[in-house]
Amino acid sequence: MLDLSTVYLGQTLRSPIMVSSSPLTNTPERVKLLEDAGAGAVSLRSIFEEEIEGAIENLERQVEHTEAWDYIRGHEMSHGLDEYRRLIRGCKETVSIPVFASMNAKSSSFWVDHVKALEDAGADGIELNLSVLPVDYHDTEERIIQFYVDTVKKVKQRISVPLAVKIGYYFTSIPSLVDKLYYAGANAVVLFNRFYQVDIDPVKEDLGRMSPISAPTDYTIPMRWVMLIYGKTPIDLATSSGVHDGETVAKMLLAGATVTQVCSTLLKNGVEHLHAMRNDLEAWMRQKGYSSIDQFRGKLSQKHSKRPKSFERLQYVKTVAAHA
């Protein structure tokens, strides 16, 4: 009997394959389908600060009396949070797998002021999407990192459930940032947030959007950083982007991942693809003689490399030589 269980954010998951924040996790009924298909956990669709602010701005434009603005702002904020709390409660009543709430914001105050409400609704943990795209010429990396650290500290002061932080990879030293987030109170990091890229339509001479669906090759960036970070900090490591099949799940676990988050492959192939991913992972484990994930997690990390100091350089040289 194979043991696919893993412990993430203090919860025992029956499988290391969890579904990331997306339209797939925006109703209790859809979350139930994911549970039935074999998901180990879900991160609910995010509550966006911009979404609530946009609703507030639309209403404020319809109101002539400025003294009503504060009332409208408070009402819309409360309505948005109430709707999200109902989602959490509905999922907790419907499924038995862990349910993590997700917040995506641009200001520290939004996370800090409202995160407690998600815990009170029954979320098993909180995932903060802290991936702020650094586009301001006046912002230094030190200032941005301090914003991340301060936000995590303030949020942790207000909740007792575990906290995951989803970050991007626009940093000079990702291991250093992960370490700082751990000491600030984060229990896990999700590598990485997927910035949706813009495109240019040369015919219309206008901006367009590229597909938000990840490619099967996108897993290489998070996998590489998991290999470098694993075993050097107690923090849980979740990977996101490019995990499309069971073989890639195995790669992520060999690198040192605690869990792998999936989304695009389910949007493309259907929720039932979770069965295929799990079956492929189990088949690989049987072939290799593994009975549990703990037997091989991090086996190919830098920590377990025979030549850790030349880890990155060695792979670069091999790649160049192979194409010479």
Six token digits for residue 84:
């999200």
User: Alpha-carbon dihedral of residues 101, 258, 32, 195, nearest 10 degrees?
Assistant: 60
pLDDT in tens, 131-166: 677 777 888 889 999 999 999 999 999 999 999 999
Higher pLDDT, 54 or 314: 314
What is residue 116's predicted lDDT score, i.e. its pLDDT? 94
Neighbours of 212 (CB within 10 A): 12
- Measured at the CA of 45, the angle between CA 249 and CA 52, to 5 degrees, comes to 150
- Write down the residue that tokens 């003294």 correspond to: 67
Confidence band, pLDDT 50/70/90 cuts, at residue 61: very low
Rounded Cα distance between 320 and 245, Å, is 27
pLDDT in tens, 110-133: 778 889 999 999 999 999 998 677
**The length of the chain, given as a count of residues:** 324
Q: Report helix, strand and coil shares of the chain as percent, to nearest 5.
A: 50, 15, 35
Domain 6-322 in this protein, CATH class: alpha beta
Instruction: Using DSSP bridges, classify how beta strands 11-13 and 6-8 pair: parallel, antiparallel or unpaired.
Output: antiparallel
Is the pLDDT at 182 greater than 70, yes or no? yes
pLDDT in tens, 21-37: 999 999 999 999 999 99
What is residue 112's predicted lDDT score, i.e. its pLDDT? 84
Is the pLDDT at 2 greater than 70, yes or no? yes
Confidence band, pLDDT 50/70/90 cuts, at residue 237: very high
What is residue 7's predicted lDDT score, i.e. its pLDDT? 98
The whole-chain average pLDDT of the chain stands at 87
Task: Return the domain boundaries, the chain.
Answer: 6-322
pLDDT in tens, 183-218: 999 999 999 997 777 889 899 999 887 777 899 999
Is the pLDDT at 233 greater than 60, yes or no? yes
Collect all residues with Cβ–Cβ distance below 8 Å to 55 and sequence separation of at least 6: 76, 80
DSSP H or E stretch at residue 19: strand 17-19
Alpha-carbon distances of 293 from 190, 250, 297, 300, rounded to whole Å = 19, 9, 6, 13
Is the pLDDT at 14 greater than 60, yes or no? yes
The residue type found at 12 is T
What is residue 70's predicted lDDT score, i.e. its pLDDT? 43
Over pLDDT 90: what percentage of the chain? 68
What is residue 25's predicted lDDT score, i.e. its pLDDT? 98
What is residue 73's predicted lDDT score, i.e. its pLDDT? 42
Alpha-carbon distances of 117 from 78, 83, 163, 322, rounded to whole Å = 10, 11, 14, 54
pTM for the whole thing?
0.88
Higher pLDDT, 212 or 170: 170
Is the pLDDT at 318 greater than 90, yes or no? no
Q: Is 8 helix (H, G, I), strand (E, B) or coil?
A: strand
What is residue 317's predicted lDDT score, i.e. its pLDDT? 56
Over pLDDT 70: what percentage of the chain? 85
